[in-house]
Amino acid sequence: MLSKEKLFIGGQWVAPSGREAIDVHNAGNGEVMGRIPAAGERDADAAVRAARAAFEGWAGLAAAARADYLQKIAEGLKARADELARTIAQEVGMPLKLAGRIQVGLPIANFGNYARLLRDFKWEERIGNSLVVREPVGVVVAITPWNYPLHQITLKVAPALGAGCTVVLKPSEIAPFNAFILAEVMESVGLPKGVFNLVTGYGQAVGEALVKHPQVDMISFTGSTRAGKRISELAAQGVKRVALELGGKSASVVLDDADLPTAVKSTVNGCYLNSGQTCTALTRMLVPASKYEEAAKLAAEVAKGFTVGDPLAETTKLGPLSSQAQLERVRNYIRKGVQEGAELVAGGAEPPEAAPAGGYYVRPTVFGKVRNDMTIAQEEIFGPVLAIIPYKDEDEAVRIANDTVYGLAGAVWSKDEARAQRVARRIRAGQIDINGGAFNMNAPFGGYKQSGHGREAGVYGLEASPATSFRIS
């Protein structure tokens, strides 16, 4: 049992104001793997006040000194990488090998990357007779999701600390233990008291109290569009800065001259990564109508290769979903797809054969002959469910790709890279892969429409803080 009884506030582990605790379940077997405190308004207030008290001293520290702390944090996380990978694999359900590379490797790399970026970042510049100075925004509240828990924490906390802000983190109660390890690392490297604070609990109790707190300057949130709207409403009352990274329904547009087997395999992999619990998942694959039958057959074959099993097992390629609620949600969407007339090419709502008892497992599923007005083509499922949508020409493919309330990510496939880029420029999304482009931690990440606003990663995370100009005679 990974029971945690205290919060990290003002550089100390302190008892919460109430006695309520939250059970955290192992995604692989459904059993309780530990408990965390359910913090409330008094705890939120204490954390914000600690961050406010620490702000002036931290903001006044040289950027190079802040960079040194970030590098130490990266090294501290690396020393606990195996522990983190196993913890997150159990919290979230991602297979252990992938969890080590992605769920842990990326946060370590990003803390180190921000340590490097800080040393080269242009904090001041002369524009005419003005000196423009980049300044920390103040106290930042980071509210993070469960699907890539430590990675999303890092994309908020590392640049905020680097810019000179102090932070209060509220991680998801579904996958919180990695955040406690991070707090322990923060403590071990001697981060000044109050610069980083950790409170855990439910969104309505502690999350809303943090967002409404008068001494909070900015909220950075990753999660559902519904929750993002609520945060925006509350933050508007205090005219606070808000950065939102929300849902997605990303289209993988396979053009008629693409390498079809490569495009289909990569799209299915992009859809099923982390059991489909990825905001940028390529959940809609758009293919020329003339190539639909071949594409559907290829997708079904790829789906069959996703071995479902315990995330800690060596042979597992598709782990469980994160919770019972998520399992029921995904199965309901699969049933909805069948009811609305989509062709079930692979998978289905029935439990996978030979899946471990008690865990939140779902079959890797492919739907064909999907219309873009169907529920499974419009709503974010957050599970391993691919919708194949036939189209008649390039213009229709672009129209379909843009025909959702989201605009987070996408992909385009063509043997002619210039053509692929022309199509990609017509798609309203914040991040588009061309022929399977590799991940780039320094590229801006964020979306359009109801996928949110603001950008994370690289220097774009640092630039979230404001600039002040001094006019000099």
What tokens were used for 6?
A: 């205290």
The helix (H) or strand (E) run that includes residue 304 is helix 292-304
Describe the strand order of the beta sheet including 284-288 as a list of residue ranges. Answer: 343-346, 365-368, 385-391, 284-288, 251-254, 409-413, 431-434
Look up 125 and say whether it is catalytic.
Answer: no
| CA pair distance 42, 279, nearest whole angstrom | 33
Biggest CA-to-CA distance, the chain: 76
Q: From the candidates 91, 173, 245, 380, which is the catalytic residue? A: 245
Looking at this protein, which amino acid is placed at residue 64? A
Neighbour count for residue 62 (Cβ, 10 Å): 10
What tokens were used for 372?
A: 């873009």
Hey, which residues does 287 pair with through a beta bridge?
390
Q: What angle do CA 322, 325, 328 make, to 5 degrees?
A: 105
Residues 6+ apart with CB under 8 A from 100: 81, 82, 85
Q: From the candidates 91, 165, 271, 279, which is the catalytic residue? A: 279
| CA pair distance 326, 331, nearest whole angstrom | 9
Describe the strand order of the beta sheet including 218-222 as a list of residue ranges. Answer: 12-14, 7-9, 196-198, 166-170, 139-143, 218-222, 241-245, 452-453
Q: Beta-strand (E) ranges in 228-352?
A: 241-245, 251-254, 284-288, 343-346
Closest CA to 413 of 234, 300, 252, 249: 252
Look up 245 and say whether it is catalytic.
Answer: yes
| CA pair distance 272, 101, nearest whole angstrom | 16
**So which residues are the catalytic ones?**
245, 279
